[in-house]
Copies of this chain bind each other. A is one copy, B any other.
Amino acid sequence: MSAHPAESEALLTPSEVATLFRVDPKTVTRWAKAGKLSSIRTLGGHRRYRESEVRELLNGVPQPREGKA
């Protein structure tokens, strides 16, 4: 094993996020495109999502985005 602590944020695949929210992976992709969910891209173009962000959204943390101007 490597002793290199390449610390980083845990990432989730589209299907994993979709399972957590009980929606289609396609819907998760739409959230990412809409900027509602930040995503990291693999070198092949596939999306990865931050586990911490997904968890907070799942926990129902009130996110200040409904600000109707």
Contact = CB atoms under 8 A, between A and B. Distances in A.
- How many monomers of this chain does the complex have? 2
A64 B41 contact: yes
B45 A37 contact: no
Interface residues of A, number: 40
Interface string A12-37: 11011001111100010011110111
A30 B68 CA distance: 13
A45 to B, nearest CB: 7
Given A27-B44, A44-B31, A8 B37 contact: no
Contact of A41 (B8, B31, B35, B60): B60
Nearest to A32: B66
